[in-house]
Amino acid sequence: MSSGSRIFLHAIAISAFLGLVLSAQSPAAAAAVEVVACEVWKSTAPTTIDKVKGTLASLFELKGDAASKPVTAEPEIFFTDKSSFSFQPVCRSGPPDRTEHLYYTFGLVVKKLGEIDLQERLWLVETEYGLKTFISPSNLLPLEKEKVYFFANDPNGLPYCLRQAENPCKAEEFIAGRQLSPQSRYGTAELSQFNRRGYGGRNYILLEEGRTCGVIHIGAYSGRKDGKPFRVEGGQLSTCEEAGTKIPKLKIVKWDDYDVYFKKKIDGNLLRTSPDLLGGLAKEFRDAKSCNTTVTFQSGSEAEIKGGGKVNFFVFELGGAASKKYIQSLKKEYGPNVALRFVAYDLTTNRAEAKANAVPIQISYVCDPPAEAPITAKEILVSHPTMGEFVIPIQNTDFKGDTTGILVVPMTGRNQLFLDGYVFKIEGAKDYMSRRDQILSIVNESYEKVQALFSDSRDDLYFSRTANFITHLIIAATAKPSRVPR
């Protein structure tokens, strides 16, 4: 398949970014849903940068029934009871295909936005952290208002015991394998029971110091039987966290909490294209600087390759004034021992100053002598028109120094992962939660910058959602989904 006939779009906020025509109404209405962006590409067949720019700009528009859904309607909120990868569309000459997108564990809370056929019926959802993706409805269950849910937020799981008394379980009562797991088991309790025990009256999305905690009787569930959640057994679970915990190991989910959470507006998306596609459309259009080249950035979107003429970087072409400001902050020249990859993102919150249109995320690598390929990832730089730059340094796992504020990854050497513009792989819960927790800790340490994206006043719940958005935006920009048998 030629680069002109296959368009690979790594889109996070799929509805806004691909311009999908979506319907969250009847099955008959959903049958007519299309990926409009793919039709745009096929019909215009852009061959110049100006035409490419216009076509790419249309990908940032939300069209169709999902855009006009009444905001007063009660949201349809669901949670995942399987761990897997979500999907994203892949535009091509025929009907759209799909590819893996974001990894999720048990307990990802989502709001349904629409439906579409991509080899099978998929739901377009907004995730709790503000990004949009497609998930099979067979992996989703409705979040019930009368229940409270308990999910392991740690890859090692959370043990519970079979004791039904009020006292906490003794150490000898825990049995290996009897635990909540991010990949296989979750718990539920009646909300009325939860409230009677004195645990109600607060939003459990936030980890508050000194909050009431103790033991709760749960039903443990794993899989389904006859299409309904299968109750494995009853048990007793502690809702307390260890002192000093910053990222809770137990995720407590209530419908009312997430109804409020989804109202903290975050509309964001990310674009990742293939270099083959861009090269096929306009030979001077690029999304990366490779090893063994020396590049000097000029005004606008233009850069000069030493001994090789001029090129245009699509992110800067799309981003307008914000990208020009970003280019001015770049070093004048990048030599043969540095490789760069650029992706673009959009962001809108309740604050006008937070708005970002096609703003760059730069991933930089160190090349090996004689600069044939990148061997280590160096840093991730997220730019923002008002926030400035948000930098996450990267070190390999053999690094012996202080790793505070550093993303530690296992990848090194001549690796196809780096050549493809990624930093790490996600194959399961351990990979995902490890990277998520590292990045979220770094983001949380930059409270003032994150706060600038949503509000002039302190709103801890909005801060939580924004910090999680930035964290997962970085994951989506730098992590390669990699399904392996588990």
Domain-ending residue, one of 262, 278, 305: 262
HEC string of the chain equals CCCCCEECCCCCCHHHHHCEEEECCCHHHHCCCEEHHHHHHHHHCCCCHHHHHHHHHHCCCCEEHHHHCCCCCCCCEEEECCCEEEEEEEEECCCCEEEEEEEECCCCEEEEEEEEECCCEEEEEEECCCCEEEECHHHEEECCCCEEEEEECCCCCEECECCCCCCCCCHHHCCCCCEEECCCEEEEEEHHHHHHCCCCCCCCCCCCCCCCCCEEEEEEEEEEECCEEEEEEEEEEECCCCCCCCCCCEEEEEHHHHHHHHCCCEEEEEECCCHHHHHHHCCCEECEECCCCCEEECCCCEEEECCCEEEEEHHHHHHCHHHHHHHHHCCCEECCCEEEEEEEEEEEECCHHHCEEEEEEEEEEEECCCCCCEEEEEEEEEEECCCEEEEEEEEECCCCCCCCCCEEECCCCCCHHHHCCCCEEECCHHHHHHHHHHHHHHHHCCHHHHHCCCCCCCCHHHHHHHHHHHHHHHHHHHEEECCCCC
Mean pLDDT computed over 113-134: 86
In this prediction the pTM is 0.86
Q: Are residues 132 and 151 in the same domain?
A: no
Average pLDDT over residues 179-208: 90
Query: Which of the given ranges, 18-27, 53-62, 336-345, 351-360, has the highest pLDDT on average?
Result: 336-345
**Residue 280 maps to a domain:** no
The predicted structure's pLDDT at residue 184: 93
Q: How sure is the predictor about 98, in pLDDT bands with cuts at 50, 70 and 90?
A: confident
pLDDT band, very low/low/confident/very high, at 276 (cuts 50, 70, 90): low
Q: Are residues 316 and 363 in the same domain?
A: yes
Q: Which domain holds residue 128?
A: 6-137
The domain boundary, picked from 88, 109, 137, lies at 137
Q: Which residue has the higher pLDDT, 165 or 286?
A: 286
Higher local confidence (pLDDT), 344 or 138: 138
Q: Answer yes or no: is 486 within a domain.
A: no
Same domain, 348 and 473: yes
Q: 248 with 185, same domain?
A: yes
Asked, for residue 268, whether it belongs to a domain, the answer is no
My answer on whether 234 and 313 are in the same domain is no
Q: Are residues 49 and 163 in the same domain?
A: no
Question: Within this chain, do residues 404 and 432 fall inside the same structural domain, yes or no?
Answer: yes
In percent, the amount of the chain with pLDDT more than 70 equals: 74
Does the pLDDT at position 72 exceed 50?
Answer: no
Same domain as 152, residue 102: no
- 106 pLDDT band, cuts 50/70/90, is very high
284 or 226, greater pLDDT: 226
In this structure, the answer to whether residues 313 and 448 fall within a common structural domain is yes
- Is 80 exceeded by the pLDDT of residue 475? yes
The answer to whether position 474 is within a domain reads yes
Among 46-60, 91-105, 178-192, where is mean pLDDT lowest?
A: 46-60
pLDDT surpassing 70 at residue 174 = no
Does residue 472 sit within a domain?
A: yes
223/243 same-domain check: yes
pLDDT in the model for residue 241? 84
State the pLDDT at residue 221: 96
Q: Decide if pLDDT at 423 tops 90.
A: yes
Quote the pLDDT of residue 313.
Answer: 79
Q: Do 239 and 304 reside in the same domain of the chain? A: no
User: Do 292 and 366 belong together in one domain?
Assistant: yes
When divided into structural domains, the chain yields a total of 3
Residue 456 lies in a domain: yes
Give tens-digit pLDDT for 195-254: 988 887 788 998 876 678 888 899 999 999 998 999 999 888 988 887 777 788 999 999
